[in-house]
Amino acid sequence: MKKLSILILVFFTAISMNAQSLVGIWNTGEDNTKIEITEDNGVFFGKILSSENAKANIGKQIIKDVKLIDGEYKGQLYAAKKGKWYDAVLKENSSQLNITIKVGWMSKTLAWKKE
C-alpha cells in the first residue's frame, strides 16, 4: 500500500510539473513577438506581451481554453491573419513549445522558444 501511495504521488507531481512548463514567456520567432502563457485552475491562456510588429495588438488573448485532455494539452489559438480561432495541440519539449493546428486534412506546427 505504501508503494502504491508513493507511485500515485510521483505520478501527480510529474503531471503538475509538466503543466507548469507551459507557463512562461514564449518567443514566436516572428517579429520578435512574445506571448505570455498563464494558468488558472488547470486552464491555460496566452496573450501578446510585446512585438516589433506595429500592427500587433499588445494584450490580446491568442491562446485560450488549453486543458490536459487524454494526455495532450488541447485548446484554441487565434490566427490574426485569418481573424479566426483554431483548435490546437500544445506540446512542450525542453525550451520549445510546438503548437499544431489542424484544419481539415492540413496541419501546421509552430515552434516557439521559451524566453
Checking if the pLDDT of 16 tops 60, the result is no
How many C-beta neighbours within 10 Å does residue 20 have?
Answer: 11
Determine the average pLDDT of the residues in 21-32: 94
Is pLDDT of 10 > 80? no
Q: Is the pLDDT of residue 47 over 80?
A: yes
All residues at 6 or more sequence positions from 34 whose CB lies less than 8 Å from its CB, including other chains:
25, 26, 27, 28, 48, 49, 50, 51, 115
- Condensed to tens digits (0 to 9), the pLDDT of residues 70-111 reads 999 999 999 988 899 999 999 998 899 999 998 889 999 999
Q: Which residue has the higher pLDDT, 11 or 41?
A: 41
| Amino acid at position 79, single letter | A
**Pairwise pLDDT comparison (82 vs 65), residue with the higher score:** 65
Q: Which three cell numbers stand for residue 21?
A: 512548463
CA dist 6 and 56 (Å) reads: 47
Q: How confident is the model at residue 1 (pLDDT cuts 50, 70, 90)?
A: low
Q: Which domains does the chain have, with CATH numbers?
A: 23-114 (2.40.128.520)
